[in-house]
Structures are given as structure tokens and as C-alpha cells.
Structure 1
Amino acid sequence: MRRVWEGLAGNPALPAEAVERLVRLDEPDLSSELAERTDLTERQVEVLAERGVVAAERLVENGRLTAQRVDPRRQPIAALALLRAGRAPAGWAELLAGRRELWPELASTERLPAGVARRLLAAADQDVLVALAEAQPDPGVLAALAAHPSSHVRQAVGWNPAAPADVLADLLNDRPPLTSCEVCERHPVPWTHPPDCPDPDCDLPGGAACDGSHQYARHTVVEAALAHPNAPAADARRHLHDPSGLLRAPLAERTDLDPDTYAQLATSTEPFVLAALAENPAVGERLIRELAAVPHETVRRAVVCNPAVPLDVLERAWEGVVLKLGATLPPRIAAADPAETERLAASADPELRRLLALRRDLPPHVRDRLAADPEARVANAVAPHPGLEERQLTAMHHRHGRLVGPGIAANPDTPTTLLRALTTGEHNVATLRALAVHPAADGATLTACLRDRRARERAAAHPALPLDRIRALLADPATAHHAAANPSLPAADLLRLMPPQ
């Protein structure tokens, strides 16, 4: 029943006495749902704020929890949530650091004062230090963490957006050198973690190895640092000829390297390295054109997604490969100027027209041209576009039938009568799933959506679903928690679902 109670907790029609009964239940997930409500009393806010950091943070985000109403000594969880959001006095951090059970959340606070961070650095365990290394902005603290004997802590520094260039240079050059790793601490070296490791308690990652140089641990640290935009290009370039493609791939993503380095990376044989290079706008037109000739779907998709790809290259990207982009709108098409937009709309390639149709800022005449396109996939892509009239959407449906149902159902301006028409003829589950959340869908349309499992889950909370259908979904464990959130349920039904007093 806990899932049902979570649904009730988010139901705006839940009576005040029922809200109070749910607040009394000490359930973390339930408290998080209740924290989203706008009708909580001051006392309920105070109670929920101490149930867990997630609930407290939601209350802070919603403006229900403020520093003026919190005593950090009596309400440490609420104080922590405010501190993490930058809405508490800095002095609270020192006070909360006296509670060791709060160290993991405190360490992951981006606004943690450097003095408190150094206090944790001196006494915390590895997991807390990893959290500190990922979030702490102070250069001095990060320098100390980058010299920590654990590769996990060093790796976390490499992931930190605030890591400065000199600290990242140390990580890239193994300064100071790692003196041990998880592998050699557990096994005599040389040792490589076998893919069929017989030890059920072994938590070493696949490929972990040590020959005395801690090569796997160093690799993880370097991989993290190479992907950081602040890492010095000269230090990063030293890994250009590394045998591991996992190191050359983040190098290929960098936008601050010289043309010769990009050209050497283009000699890699691994598709994922070439794909990283092909999506990089800094590599230059010549290399983009070369990579566009690689007959591999991953590389070709990356070329299409490069913001700097020339339009003529984009037009030929589908030659020789099966390339499926789905709902991904390539940046180059999203940024096409008016003349290029006209060119794409007139393209003989329906896939290019379809990708253009994914834009939602098209000039009306281009939008209307695509809406009348003879290719169903083009019409379906443009169908959710704002500004399309009912007659245009209806004409699309008459012309293409079920193939444009999902797009029409996704248009927020589609009228109720047309939504209902989408379910009366041949249709697909994608249409039902879009209809199930449409604000204009009526009872008949939503009832038709109940044929599909995923659409049924979405329709269960729709206020226009007939009451008898909602009650039937309450009896189904797969949909009961969705139906419990339906604001159309009468108060008597809601109270019957409540936990016993």
C-alpha cells in the first residue's frame, strides 16, 4: 500500500485531515511526495523537513522552508538543506560538522566553506572524501585531495567542474605518484581481474589490473582529468598516443587542441574515438568532411550532430549507412538560417525534411509546407508544432492515418474531437501514450488509452477519466498508485485508501 499512499500524497484533492494522517507516517519516500504539496501547515513543514534531506530540499526549492524559521541545533536536516541551497548562514556549516552522520551530505555541498572542508579532509573516510572532491570549489582543498593516496578520491577531483588547471595537470602526470591501488592491496602482483571472477564478494571492476605500477588506477584518474575543460592542453596532449582508446576519446572531445593533434586522432581505429572527434566543432571543416566518409553508423551520427558540419555534408550523411536519429534535432539544423531552412524544406531527402520538422520555431510558411508533406514521417514530426490549425491536423490524419497519430496527439492545441478520432480508426500505442496525458482528452479517448499498459499508467491520473475506470485501476496493483493521484476521486474514495489510524 505504500505506493498507493505516495499517489495519495501527491493528490491535490486530498482532504486536510488525510494529509495530516500521512504526515504522521515516518516514511521517507512518502515524505518526499508530501513535501511537494502547497497546502501544508507550518507544523507539517517542520516535521517533514526533518524526515530526510530529499524532503527538506524540496521544501526549500518550493519556498516553504527558510532560514528564519529553522534552528540548526534543533533541526539539523532542515539546516543542511538550506545550506546546500545557499540559503543559510555560512556559520551553520561549522555547527553541522559536529554531527558526523551528516558528513556525507555536508561534503557534497558545493557551498561548503573551505575551513569546514579541511576539517572533513583531516578526519573523514574515503566515501566522504570522494563526495568532497566532487563538490568542493576551494583550490587548496582540491590540491590536497588530488594528492590523496586513493585513486577514487583523485578521480573525483577530475570530475569536479571547479578543479583548477594546476591540479588537473598533477592528475594527468601522476603527481605525486600513486603508491598503491585496490588491486595490489588485495592480490599479489602482477594480477588482472578475470572476467569470470569466482569470488562473489569481489567488487573490483572488470579489467582492473596491477603490475606494480597501478596502471588501472592511474588510467581512471587520467580519464577523468582528460575530459575536464580546465586541463592544460599541453599535458592532455601527452596522452595522444596512449594505447587505450578510452583516453584518446576524451582527448578527441577537447576544443583547445591544434589541427595536427586532431589529425593524428583521426588515425584511430576505434569508432567511439572517431565519433568523439566527428562531433567536435573545433576539428575544422576538412576533418569533418573526412570523417563524414567513414562508413560507420556511430561516426556518421556524430558528424550529423556536429554544430559546425557543412550543410552539403549533412545532406550526404545518409549515403552508405543506415542512420536513425529518432527525435534528435541536429544542432546544425536547429541553427539553420532562413535561406538554409528553405533549402532543407525543399530537400529531396525526406529524412532531412523530417529533421527540420522537429524544430518548433519554423516560419509559418515552412511549417505549413511540411504539414502538407507527402511523407508521413515528415508530417508526424511537424504535427506538434505550435500554430497548426485544426483543419491542417485533420488533413494530416486523413492523408496519413495512424502514422501521424503520435504527432497530432502531442500537439497541445489539438481539439477534443480530433483527439477522439485518433482512437476510433487504426492507431498505434505511441498515439495512445501521447493521448493519455493530453489536457483536452475526454473520457472516451482516455478509456481507449487503457488498452496499452504504459498509456494506462498515464491515463490513470488524468482528471477526465471516468470515475468507474479510475476505481477499476485502483484495484490493479500496477496502476493503483497512479490512480490514487487522480484529483477526480471523491473524498470518500480517497479516505478508504488511507492507512488505518
Structure 2
Amino acid sequence: MRTVLRTLASSRALGPEHIDALIDHGDPDVLSELCRRSDLTPRQLDALVADGGRAAFLALVRSGAMPEERIPADDPEAQLAAVGRPDPAGAGAARPADRPVTEERSTTLRILAGDPDCAVAAAAVRLLEEAGVPDTRRRPEACVRIAIAGTTADGETLRGLLAVDGPPPLVPCPHRPDPDAALAELRSAAVRNRHAPADAVEELLDATWPALAAQAAACWAGLRPETYERLLGLDDPRVTAAVAGGRGTPARLIRHLFDADWGRWRGDVLGGVGAVPLDLLVREALAGRGGGVAHHRDVDGLAALAEHSDPRVRMLPLDNVHLRPEVLARLVDDPDPAVALRAALRSRDPERLRAAAERFGPGSHTPIARELWCPADLLLTVAQDRDTPFEAALVVADHRNATPEVLDACLDHHPGPEMDEAVVENQAASPEQLDRLVRGGVLPVLRAAARNPELPPRVVDAILALALGPRTPACWR
């Protein structure tokens, strides 16, 4: 039952009295989850700090629950945690890196960037760089320099870190005492940074060859063609795999790697981000395999494949994000059922989806139900059909567009323990459905219900009564 309580501790369905009950329960894992909440009362804050000590205090600062007046000004770690906390109006809504650095936070970060502890300074500098308000002091400690190397710092700053004769003096620090290891880590981080100037990357690659080859091959699209030849000449499997799936690998080398070593690198080619020649993709499709199509830029070539005589090849354009509307419209009426169903799913047109469900019957219900935009009336049709596969009915019960009527149809026509779990986890479940299923006391159902953020208070009361009551089985605790 601990997992039920831990999940419930982070739910927005809890009221103050429910949080009090969980604090009184005293389970360390549950208390740790409660520290992430931003709706705690002063009394609850005191209780959590008394139980969890320093770790609980910092967690409460990060969540935004701890009032600013209770955060010591002479505690750098707490001040840094406070910079990344959410504003009270949107508590818990974003991660620190996603939040704008306001003028007030920028001032705090600049102070922290000068902290004697270079790990604290590095964290502050990273946030400043990402916010576009860099710290101009450019401290020399290894921690700080490495933090800058992985950010969206300006090109000239990254060029300095990539300089062949070494960056501006880099000072070892307690966290990275070995200067050679620190320099290697800094260069590795900078080479993997796609904001770094390409010419500086090439120059450093030449000077340190082949130490940084694998990182550059995996991250860069702007390398010279001869550089890719040199990379393959290393005969290093990691480097070859990176080149096979790399952004800028020339087509000639992709063709070579596709068949080299009895197809050893074929998966890397198809799973990478390079432009795989279409004739190779056709070969894969005819062999019953796929891949490499999703972000392909040759839209004219893909449109031509929609006219191919083999349905396996006509399926290829449907996996591409740049598919033209007229090509899609043509494939919706394809004589091959698999192609036509895939095209209907890709169309995001409810009428085409209804037509596909009627044309292809229960065999099409699972992929249709998996579409996030599937309308509620079609979900109801799928749920009420007793020939619908149970897997499809489970997908319906989990669907965001399901209604209480749809969920009742799932429970009536496709009963089972897994169905009960799917229904109680759906935010559309009615209070009556939730109350009936939760009061059965089945542990997996309670776990699923705890994940539902829209539980009514009486259902939360029922879960807590089962989990914390004197008759709770010991194996559940």
C-alpha cells in the first residue's frame, strides 16, 4: 500500500486534511513526495522539516512551498534552490531551466556566480547563460568553464573554449583536481554543443585527432566530407555507428555503410538523422522492414512512391512528417486495406476514421482507439462492440476523450481487473464509478486510482481509510 500512498501524496486531489493524515502516517517515502507540493500550510511545513531535516528543507524551497522570508540569505545552496523555484501563481508548472530569469532572479544568480564554492557558481552561471544574460567574469575554475561549454553561450565564448592552444587559463578545483582530465571534459562538452562554431570544431578535431572524433561525428552536420572519411578510417565501431546515423554524412558513405560488413551498420543508418537514399528505403520495405522515413526531406520522391505497385512501398510516405495533403487524400482510397487504414489514421479526419471503422471492422479498432483525436462517439461505438479486442477496449478506457458513458460500456462489455484499473485512472470517470471500484479494496485498482488527479474528496477518504485503517493487511503497508 506504500506505493498507493506515495502516488497519492503528489496528487492535486488532496485536501489539507488528507495531507495531515499522510504526515501523521510518517512514512519517509511519502513525506519525501509531500515535500514537492506547493500547497502546504505553515504547520505542515514545520512538521516536514522536523521529520526530514536539511533535505526536506531544500526540497520545500525548490517546490516554492517555503516562504522567502524563511530562506536564509547566508545559505548559498538554499538561495540557488530558491532561484529555480516556481512563482506562487504557477507553482510546480515548469522546471527551472524552462522558467524565465526575471531581473530579481538574475541579480540573485549574479551574486551566486561569485560564490566561493565553484559548484554553486557553476550552477548559477549555467542558468545565466541559458537565459541570455551571461556572467561576464568568466571564472577560470574547471566546474564553471565546463558548465558554460554545454550551454547556449555565444559563439565567441564557445570558440575560446575550443581554441587549439587551450582555453583561457583553466584552474583545477576541488571537484575536478586533475587539469588534464578537466580540459578533456571541457573540450568534449564543447564539441558536442551544436551552438559551437563549425570551423573551431574542425580545427580542434584536427589538433586532437582522434580523441574527440566520436562526439563530433554524432553531433555535427557541418563537417567537411573528408573528415567523415577520416572518421571511418579509424575503424572504431562507436565512431562508425555515429557516422552511419550522423546528420551530415555524405550519401555516398551512407550507401557504403548500408551494405558494409553484411549490414552491420544498417540499423544505425535507418535509425539516424541522415538523409537515406530512397532506393535503399524501398529495398527495406520490400524486405518487410522499415525506418529512416520520418524526417526525410525528399517530398517529391516520397510522393512518387505513393504510386508504386507494391503496397509495402506505398506505405512509406505515410510515415513522413512532410507528407503532402494530396498524396494523403489519394492513399485514403488505396485498394490495399492496410494502406487505406494507415492513411485514414494519418488524416486526423473523424469522418474518414468512422468510414475506416465501418469498412475494416473490429480488426481496425485497436489502431483507431490509439488515435488521441478519436471522437467520443466513435470510442463508444468501439466499446459497445462485443467483437472489439480486449486490448482495444483497454485503450478506449484510457482515452482522454472518453466519457462516463464510454467507460460504462467498457466495464459492461469488456469486464476484467485490468479494465477496472484503466477506468479508475481516467480523469473522466464519474464519482459513482470511482467510488464503486475503489471500495472493492483491490490493491492494483487503488494504485491506479491514486494516479487519477481528479479524485473527489470522498474517494480520497475511502483510499486513505483502506490504506491507513487498523484492518489494513500488513503486506499492504
TM-score of Structure 1 vs Structure 2, range by shorter chain:
0.5 to 0.7
Letter in 2 for 1:415: L
Contact 1:97/1:116 (8 A) holds in 2: no
Letter in 1 for 2:462: R
Among the aligned pairs, what percent are the same residue?
Answer: 21
Does 2:128 align with 1:136?
yes
Partner residue, 2:222: 256
CA 1:345–1:19: 2 relative to 1, 3 Å: same
CA 1:107–1:167: 2 relative to 1, 3 Å: farther
Contact 2:294/2:320 (8 A) holds in 1: no
Q: d(CA) in 2 for partners of 1:221 and 1:153?
A: 10
Does 2:307 align with 1:346?
yes
Partner residue, 1:29: 33
Partner secondary structure for residue 221 of structure 1: helix
**Deviation (angstroms), 1:239:** 1.9
Does 2:388 align with 1:397?
no
Letter in 2 for 1:227: R
**Deviation (angstroms), 1:289:** 4.3
CA 1:312–1:30: 2 relative to 1, 3 Å: same
Partner residue, 2:345: 383
Partner secondary structure for residue 437 of structure 1: coil
Does 2:325 align with 1:363?
yes
CA 1:474–1:285: 2 relative to 1, 3 Å: same
Contact 2:221/2:246 (8 A) holds in 1: yes
Letter in 2 for 1:495: D
- Uncovered stretches (5+) of structure 1, i.e. residues with no partner: 58-69, 77-95, 186-209
Letter in 2 for 1:56: G
CA 1:358–1:250: 2 relative to 1, 3 Å: same
**Deviation (angstroms), 1:21:** 1.6
Partner secondary structure for residue 445 of structure 1: helix
Does 2:201 align with 1:239?
no
Letter in 2 for 1:300: V
Partner residue, 1:105: 81
CA 1:469–1:342: 2 relative to 1, 3 Å: farther
CA 1:317–1:253: 2 relative to 1, 3 Å: farther
Contact 2:150/2:193 (8 A) holds in 1: yes
Structure with higher helix content? 2
Partner secondary structure for residue 146 of structure 2: helix
**Deviation (angstroms), 1:389:** 3.6
Letter in 2 for 1:155: I
Cα deviation digits, residues 34-60 of structure 1 (max 9, x gap) = 75xxxx99x99xx99998355439xxx
Partner residue, 1:297: 266
**Deviation (angstroms), 1:260:** 2.9
Does 2:423 align with 1:459?
yes
Does 2:442 align with 1:475?
yes
Letter in 1 for 2:368: I
Contact 1:252/1:262 (8 A) holds in 2: no
Cα deviation digits, residues 130-168 of structure 1 (max 9, x gap) = 323432225454731xx21x4x44332211122543345
Contact 1:371/1:378 (8 A) holds in 2: yes
Indicate which of 460, 468, 471 corresponds to 1:494. Answer: 460
Letter in 2 for 1:223: S
CA RMSD of aligned residues (A): 4.9
1:405-424 residue pairs with structure 2 within 5 A? 405-411=365-371, 412-413=374-375, 415-420=378-383, 424=387
Contact 1:154/1:221 (8 A) holds in 2: yes
Partner residue, 2:191: 226
Partner secondary structure for residue 442 of structure 1: helix
**Deviation (angstroms), 1:336:** 5.6
Contact 2:188/2:215 (8 A) holds in 1: no
1:256-275 residue pairs with structure 2 within 5 A? 256-275=222-241
Letter in 1 for 2:15: V
Q: d(CA) in 2 for partners of 1:362 and 1:451?
A: 43
Q: d(CA) in 2 for partners of 1:240 and 1:431?
A: 58
**Deviation (angstroms), 1:331:** 0.8
Contact 1:157/1:163 (8 A) holds in 2: no
Contact 1:170/1:176 (8 A) holds in 2: yes
TM-score (norm 2): 0.66
Q: d(CA) in 2 for partners of 1:277 and 1:286?
A: 12
**Deviation (angstroms), 1:247:** 3.8
Contact 2:62/2:82 (8 A) holds in 1: no
- Uncovered stretches (5+) of structure 2, i.e. residues with no partner: 24-30, 49-56, 85-95, 470-477
Letter in 1 for 2:16: E
Q: d(CA) in 2 for partners of 1:132 and 1:184?
A: 18
Partner residue, 1:52: 60
Letter in 2 for 1:443: D
Q: d(CA) in 1 for partners of 2:397 and 2:158?
A: 52
Partner residue, 1:20: 16
Partner secondary structure for residue 160 of structure 1: coil
Letter in 1 for 2:230: Q
> Aligned residues, how many?
413
